[in-house]
Structure 1
């Protein structure tokens, strides 16, 4: 019997193994685990009842009471109920007289186990061997008491034969089972705690965005965990077990090994900031390391957390840059959303005069100048709220009350919800730039000498006036004004007096017109007046423009006092009327200019309205300019020679004269093309071509006995004389053609010497040193100064044909001839009279000392071959 009890006890102890397996199998699935535990406990009871101690039929003993009490104690009501139900069902299935007693023992065992569980949970009883032994004694004593209810002497037999072994065996078995289950329970709780702790640590580790590494004292990678393997120099798997010296640059490996040594020698965490070329590119890291208390294969180790701080470093750098930028030359101001100043920089103080202490806490209206109305600020804030930025020019006030212009830029700062939290304002004092801007505008749109609008501004205003007349059907007038003989003022009184006259003339014009009209200077002595808003009827508009122009003529004709001298000058005015935008601005200017020239040609000091015929004349002149250019390119110009005769000797020289042999129009007189060539700037090219031909002809004549004595006079224009390379070009042409320089006479008009006289003398002296002679043409028609005339290296003077005409009847002309001859004699130069057409003129000239003549009386200008024939006839007559 005792052996049977021991077998039942062993079966009870085996229960703990199954319970442990059940707990591990179901894990955290509590409901399944409870059911499984209940079934295990119940099945163990069934197994025990299948190997019972039978005292009498129907009465069995086994270890179910120990099993069920522990099932209720450790499993709770659900486990106890399931186990009890399984055991009770099987006991009833077995039947017999002790079936009810057996069910009662089952019920009491479960209840006593639950009672013990309650006491333990409330802290009344601490789980342990003695409490479990006590529970076993109570459970089995109660079970024995239930056996008293058995019929007959069964109860007596139970107490006599089984009671003591029952208690001595199953009570300790209950305690032992409790200890085993307690140990199992504690191990399960410990395992769960470890698993929970490990899960928490794993979650924490995975949540940390840092790279975790365990390194031994040799710098070997023992463990690596990286949320992003782009932060490593290689993938984590390939790094494990390798030394840093194998994967890092030498200087980086040495740095880390030193860092590991310092960490192992310190009791506190060590910090290191470094840069590293990772798989994701260069990054900046901050590492924190601490020594581990455990060793790995006998080597000490450290755990290292390294965080990617690249973005933080970049932001810090941007903050430093922003801080430096904030303290820039621009005034900076930060306000809250209500325009209260929060921060200012030094430039703010320098510009406004307000210190940081005075400005911070004040509203931006502190700087208001009072020059802007409410509408200005309303528009500014409207744009700022709509676009988040506003930029423009504004007037603000300094601390000392001075109002100044500034360039202001305001930006709104918004939070994640799109609400404005701050405003950042940057501004610059543009006082000097505004002044410079005004000066640039003045230089760009106004004449520097007179302060009047220039061509650019006038063109703009003319365009506006034309557009305005197009809308309101009114008229406007454009007047082109040129001061007559203004060049004489510059030449005789100096350019400073010329400038003064222009200033006074501009002021007089400005005083005559209305404020809405424009007086402009185009340069030189040219002024342009724009009259706007004239009457609708063209006749009335023209009459009003004429009255204004006549007033201008009268004002400009009044004497001017210049350096104490009184000088009077007139003007010529051309008027072009307009209404609408039918013609372009340039066309209107051309019309007024043409009208002015027509006025000049009609005698000056008068006005003239634009005539379409005049336009056609100018168009023809422009066509003629193009034809002259073409003629120069195709060598259409030739040279004719007019004889110059010495009294009593015959032909002694010739003047080379340009002639145009037009392919379609035949010979075109010089009077038609010379003025056009001068105006178009073509005289230099034409003169060069004439000189080349004349020098070549002179070289040929030098080899002919009948013409070897001839000199050739070649006309020189101002455009040629004042060219820097003129002297060189003449000498080079003489050398190339072989013309004798002593036979070359360069003929200059008196007027072209009114320019740079000293420069002209230098050129003439250089050429005269090579034998070239000079002649002054049209002498007496200009404004020759005897002071410089005597210094000119001239060889002859030519009396202008205007003084030859009507000789000897004109006493005035005779007086001039005598004076010129006397002057030439004093200067030791010869005199040639040109334009001699009658014997009377010749005799009068000869009688007054002039021995050289040129004119139709002797010969017209002839081609070279005809001139040679004339020369041969002259020689025959002389014989």
Structure 2
């Protein structure tokens, strides 16, 4: 015990002062009347004065009356409680003007007789911690949006606006990479001027294409503190000046497989350097955008798989039924005719038997492409099953004769296309086998009238017409009236 007391006694006032100055917190000591007795260097920076000029003065000599009143009220509260008092407050540092949110702890001090002699204050900077807490709350609320059926542009805008609300002096943007991976499109930047967004929409990525174009091309963060002087912005300096932009930091948005999806950018009105907290915000925001983009793309893919044939990519029977109902409604609305074709390949099984299902699959894919090239954009081509396909001719003519003629012309175009030879390259483990195959089609056609029999199974009738075409020798077209 005596040895411990001796060691403590060896700590001189200079030793204790050195420890006090080394601490990153603001530390000070006042007497019961609020007069300063001691403070450290960090506190000197807050008041913008040296310790020798602070000692013997009160808060009212250095800060506004409103702030000094607040400081004094918290001092009195701690002294009245007789114990620790903690509060949060924003303070501005006189030496450089920056602001910090601090957590201030004030503890009353007593002498050996228990008499109150002053108050010890310690303030810790919690700005970063509070901002991170706010960001995590914002991040959680954004992730909740993804669980709802909200369009991707709306989710991305929520991300942009959310980050901007956390930092009122910034403007954010999200740009997506197009399907070819060459241009930035579909920008979400509600706080940037419309003329600026329009000017950069569709810009080709590459080194020297601003911050975003460069980041998307290189796949790494690009920080431009001063747009006016940076070579990456030389082609866009005038545009940026017109928009009032001083700096731009851009983070590439990467998928879970590290493919570039787009860019997330933070703009400032004036020159601005990247700080540690900014790195966290821009990285996490880009990651949040990535989650939103990938999730929505997966949803679209799942929806597509639910209504499209996996082999050919054509609508399946579920989507065919929906398109048929839409066609019926259009017929009633526009008083026009429509038609349904049922197509069955005539010489498909021998190819499967001789060369396997891979060859058959390749043929079906080619058939799907040939049919699709023969029809109009308003028409629907669906795979019904196996080697059977159904085509809906939507919104034909209002006169029956003309509608039949148009349906016959398109059906003949399909028949002729499907009868052309097929060159099928079948991959295998050792080498590719090339097979030439001849395959025709039997086609049944039924005209759908706009005033009668809307509840009739039109596909079944077209199937019956197809069997009539088979009976007539195949590679032919047979018409069947839906209202005999």
Give 1 or 2 for the bigger CA radius of gyration. 1
TM-score by shorter chain over 0.5: no
Q: Which has the higher contact order (CA 8 A, sep 6+)?
A: 2
TM-score normalised by L of structure 2: 0.44
Higher helix proportion = 1
TM-score normalised by L of structure 1: 0.26
